[in-house]
Amino acid sequence: MKKKILFVVTSHDKKGSTGENTGYYLGEVSHPWEVLHKAGYEIDFVSPKGGTPPVDGFDLKDPVNKEFWENKEYKNKIDHSLQPSQVNSNDYSTIFYAGGHGAMWDFADNTELAGIASKIYENGGIVAGVCHGPAGLVNIKLNNGKYLVDGKKINAFTNEEEAEVKLTDVVPFLLENKLKERGAKFEKSGLWQNHVVTDQRVITGQNPQSAKSVGEAILKELKK
């Protein structure tokens, strides 16, 4: 019985005061899901508020998005995402924070999710995230009192990418800056380049283009 994998998706549906919709980015769920699902892992979904999370990047021309969206079991699972209080950390080998701009508003300060991630990591599990998903990593503290990202190579949506989508002044903080403040050794590539880094069971990817590679990196780490 392989331990399950927990995907975290945002419950937040607006980009600040712009009125623009956001949510979890579909490709950042579907691409890692495809890799891990095909490898035989069961995946559960949690969101800060539970229930049906808002979706962004809704593109069914992407065949992997379409496969996920039309998978009745998994569509039902994500539409009935767990609340953090319903999660037993011991059931999971891995926690993966999917991106989408909504994550910038409701991941960092969610102490329940940070507690779940900390327990999974201290149990020898994997903590992962892609794009804005690593917003969920900024306040995770370990038993030794240090931040999870402190001293580790970490990657996420960059300041340059945030500027490119013109949301630098909209997001509550800049993810790259916050991770550096927490002691992360931040790595990055150019705009929209696939960039994934693994360091001591923490796996992070830069942007939507990195989503499948994050799934592959998780799988590689799980096989160790």
Catalytic residue annotation: 131-132, 162
The candidate with the shortest Cα–Cα distance to 98, out of 18, 31, 195, is 31
Tell me the C-alpha distance between 6 and 218, whole Å.
12
Tell me the C-alpha distance between 213 and 169, whole Å.
29
β-bridge pairing 153-154 and 24-25? unpaired
Cβ atoms within 10 A of the Cβ of 156, count? 32
Non-local (6+) Cβ contacts of 42 within 8 A are 2, 4, 5
CA 92 distance to own-chain centroid: 15
Tell me the C-alpha distance between 45 and 28, whole Å.
13
CA–CA distances in Å: residue 63 to residues 54, 56, 191:
20, 16, 24
What's the angle, vertex CA 149, arms to CA 147 and CA 152, rounded to 5?
130
Contact yes or no for 70/106 (Cβ under 8 A): no
Q: State the number of CA atoms in the 13 A half-sphere of 29 facing the CB.
A: 33
